[in-house]
Amino acid sequence: MRSLEEKEEKTFEEIPEIPLGEDYDSSKDPALAHEDNEVVEEKKNFKKELEDLINSHSKENGSDTSDFILAEYLNDCLLIFDKAVKRRREWWGAKEKSGTF
């Protein structure tokens, strides 16, 4: 485990910024660099499936927000959460296990 002084030296600026929303390009996401094409394609399809799910249950009606905007938002939330978990593991020095908590 790292000492307190070592932990204080690490900052958020050291973690590469991932553009989200319409600017997000999964081919440039360092978190996906180790994954094969099939996994990357599956993640690209997730947002479309989420959009269809939101639409089929009319979940966009409560906020009067288009289903594709809600799907984009929820997808971005998951990406940010993944980044936070990775950051937490780096902070505490745990070994990274892709796709698991």
Domain boundaries, the chain: 4-92
Instruction: Please give, one letter per residue, the 3-state secondary structure of the chain.
Output: CCCHHHHHHCCHHHCCCCCCHHHCCHHHCHHHCCCCHHHHHHHHHHHHHHHHHHHHCCCCCCCCCCHHHHHHHHHHHHHHHHHHHHHHHHHHCCCCCCCCC
Q: What is the value of pTM for the model shown? A: 0.55
Pairwise pLDDT comparison (35 vs 43), residue with the higher score: 43
Q: What is the pLDDT at residue 64?
A: 94
CB 74, CB 56: distance < 8 Å = no
At residue 15, the pLDDT reads 52
pLDDT at 38: 78
pLDDT by residue (tens digit) across 41-92?
777 789 889 999 999 999 999 999 999 999 999 988 998 999 999 999 988 8
